[in-house]
Structure 1
Amino acid sequence: MSVVDHIRSRRLERCRRDLLDPTQRTRPVSAIAQHWGFRDESHFNRRFRERYGVPPGTYREQAWRAVANDQAPGANGQ
């Protein structure tokens, strides 16, 4: 893994973590992405989907639906 890939991976993981954070539930996905250095929303969406299999907004909704159904966030292979 190159240094650039490693940094991008860490930034994506921090975005994923923030998407699951209850205190950031109402914060827009784009604001979370920008906070972690993703200036282009479509680039962020593509990279997030490549890494986690779904767009970030969908990931967040699936995780919160799982919580509502009394499952752990990120269930269903996420």
Structure 2
Amino acid sequence: MDEKAIIPQEYEGLELQARGFTDARVLQDFPIRGKKVHLSIRRRRWAEKGNHKKLSRNWATIAKGSRKIAEFAAFLKEFD
């Protein structure tokens, strides 16, 4: 899955240009019908016009130190 070329809300006042994608990240999510779910996601990179400062969307959905989605990681911690 590739992130759409929609400027992130936190950078709305800036003039940005899409500059490709980051390396793909693989996320694991809840099993659907007993099957594993692996999502391969590439975040879009942005550059500010004029100074070429590199920016990207801040994704807080991934639990720190985990390759699982934050909600799923919290669910697993309850059983630990």
TM bracket, shorter-chain basis: under 0.3
Per the normalisation by structure 1, the TM-score is: 0.26
> Radius of gyration: which is bigger?
2
Q: Name the one with the larger strand percent.
A: 2
Q: Name the one with the larger helix percent.
A: 1
Structure with higher RCO (Cα < 8 A, 6+ apart): 2
Per the normalisation by structure 2, the TM-score is: 0.26
